[in-house]
Structure 1
Amino acid sequence: MCELTVSLICRFISESPVIAKIQYWMKITFVFILILFIDSVNRVWRVQVELAMATEKQNNAAVMGHERLEVQARKFYSQRNMYLCGFTLFLSLILNRTYVMILEVMRLEDRVKAYEGTRKDAKESEKLAMSGKPGEIARLRAEVEHKDQDLKNLKKQSEQLHKAWDELSEKYSKATGLPAGDKKAD
């Protein structure tokens, strides 16, 4: 029961147009985050260059305190944004790959179930023999023998009924003087 529910949910997820639209919008979001990541890398680079230029202008003199703090704050914010965008990109790639792998596993499981279903009848007797249940096998053999005996009894009854019908039809034709109509068909 649980496997059936999971199978239905997975089939819904893999074939649903709503999920396809969500996946489409996730790809657009991924591209947007990629652009933000590239922008944040560019900002980090610009802040690094600005810090290097400010240090060169002053040569050996110390950069004024408030200017240095401002540059370091911008460097911190740009690095933070770059890390956040990078981790978001990485996690979205992992989620996408996981989704694709789960769909592939579900499709392969469906194929395996289909193959096992077609081969199930042929292998059923082998499974019983391998399961180590001789009592079950003996019971099934006795059941088959009983059904064979029933079939033989039905054939005998059919033959006897046919003979009785032939005898009655001959008696009827003699008594009424009409020819027996179905004699040639037999």
Structure 2
Amino acid sequence: MTLYYTLVFMLLVAEMALFMLLIVPLPFTVRRKMFAFISENPLIAKLQYGLKITFIFILILFIDSVNRVYRVQVELAAATESAGNAGSAIMGHERLEVQARKFYSERNMYLCGFTLFLSLILNRTYVMILEVLRLEEKIKIYEGTDKNTKQQEKLAVAGEPGEIARLKKELARKDEDLKTLKEQSAGLTREYHALSDKYAETQQQDSTPKKDK
């Protein structure tokens, strides 16, 4: 195996290890930190850019290996047709050489093909996991189970979202305000009646005729 195909094989092994790491069940916090590090780290971004260029070269190798497999197939068919014109020993040697070239060409084609195919799977899996993490974070915020909404979680009844608990708190506060207003209204009513009674007594005293001396 040549040097560049050896590097392709090492990249394929690295992709398999990375894929296993992605599908391993991890806690939500650990997974969120890991993907945040991958998404925000500038070194990872440069590495991804370099891998894109590498995959372009692997694509060229894949096309070349497919071309070699096709040419070997043509040579093998031509050698089989010319079997009657050559000796059996020479024919057997040529056929063995062509079959060996066919094996190496197919191996290189499968190696490059699986490397490219697994890169597409990794990219799609990475995007899907990021989307799932975003949705899980939104759900946790809505249900009041995130760290930023612990106060809402304390106010919520078991199994109720934090938004419902917040609305219940506002409703209780409005009930207290309404109760206070009712008490103030009752006090004002009592004061009004007391003043009305005093005013009526004053009017009665003024309307009573005074005796002449």
- For normalisation by structure 2, the TM-score amounts to 0.51
2:68 aligns to what? 43
Tell whether the 8 Å contact from 2:83 to 2:91 is kept in structure 1 after alignment.
no
Say if 1:3 and 1:58 are closer, same or farther in 2 by CA, change over 3 A.
closer
> What is the 5 A alignment of 1:1-186?
3-59=28-84, 62=88, 64-117=91-144, 127-128=157-158
Query: Gaps (5+ residues) in structure 1?
Result: 132-143, 149-186
1:50-91 Cα offsets, whole Å, 9 max, x none, are 111222334476562211111111011111111111221222
Amino acid at match of 2:101: R
Q: Secondary structure at the match of 2:157?
A: helix
Tell whether the 8 Å contact from 2:55 to 2:116 is kept in structure 1 after alignment.
yes
Query: Gaps (5+ residues) in structure 2?
Result: 1-26, 161-171, 177-213
Tell whether the 8 Å contact from 1:10 to 1:106 is kept in structure 2 after alignment.
no
Please give the alpha-carbon distance, in whole angstroms, between the structure 2 residues aligned to 1:27 and 1:123.
Answer: 45
Say if 1:6 and 1:51 are closer, same or farther in 2 by CA, change over 3 A.
closer
Tell whether the 8 Å contact from 1:44 to 1:75 is kept in structure 2 after alignment.
yes
Please give the alpha-carbon distance, in whole angstroms, between the structure 2 residues aligned to 1:4 and 1:51.
Answer: 58
Q: What is the root-mean-square deviation of aligned Cα atoms in Å?
A: 3.3
Tell whether the 8 Å contact from 1:48 to 1:75 is kept in structure 2 after alignment.
yes
Amino acid at match of 2:33: L
Please give the alpha-carbon distance, in whole angstroms, between the structure 1 residues aligned to 2:32 and 2:102.
Answer: 50
Tell whether the 8 Å contact from 2:72 to 2:102 is kept in structure 1 after alignment.
yes
Tell whether the 8 Å contact from 2:69 to 2:102 is kept in structure 1 after alignment.
yes
2:183 aligns to what? none
Deviation at 1:105, TM superposition (A): 1.6
Deviation at 1:110, TM superposition (A): 2.6
Please give the alpha-carbon distance, in whole angstroms, between the structure 1 residues aligned to 2:36 and 2:65.
Answer: 40
